[in-house]
């Protein structure tokens, strides 16, 4: 649909009723990312404890690890 056609439709009575639905349908869920830099080796027990504690805290706050995320 061309922009002009859409605006003509949106300005009509039927378009005005459909406008909130069309606007919501175009918005996607916001993706948030957390990155962590550490000066410790990945196999260091201290590093593993810290990463585990961070992941646990984030899970308690409702965050989840994305599929395919490294680490």
> Which has the higher per-residue pLDDT, 16 or 64?
64
Among candidates 24, 50, 27, which has minimal Cα distance to 37? 50
Work out the pLDDT band at 14, boundaries 50, 70, 90.
low
Q: Indicate the pTM of the whole model.
A: 0.51
Work out the pLDDT band at 66, boundaries 50, 70, 90.
confident
Q: CA angle, 53 as apex, 50 and 56 as ends, to 5°?
A: 150
Among candidates 38, 33, 25, which has minimal Cα distance to 58? 33
User: Tell me, what's the pLDDT at 52?
Assistant: 92
From CA 42, how far away is CA 26, in angstroms rounded? 40
Model confidence pLDDT, tens digit, residues 18-64: 555 555 555 667 778 888 888 888 899 999 999 899 999 999 998 88
Residue tagged 């830099």 (tokens):
37
């Amino acid at each position: 649909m061309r922009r002009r056609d859409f605006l003509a439709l949106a300005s009509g009575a039927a378009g005005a009723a459909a406008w909130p639905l069309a606007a919501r349908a175009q918005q996607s869920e916001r993706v948030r990312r957390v990155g962590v830099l550490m000066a410790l080796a990945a196999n260091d027990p201290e590093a593993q404890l810290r990463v585990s504690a961070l992941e646990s805290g984030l899970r308690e706050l409702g965050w989840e690890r994305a599929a395919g995320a490294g680490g």
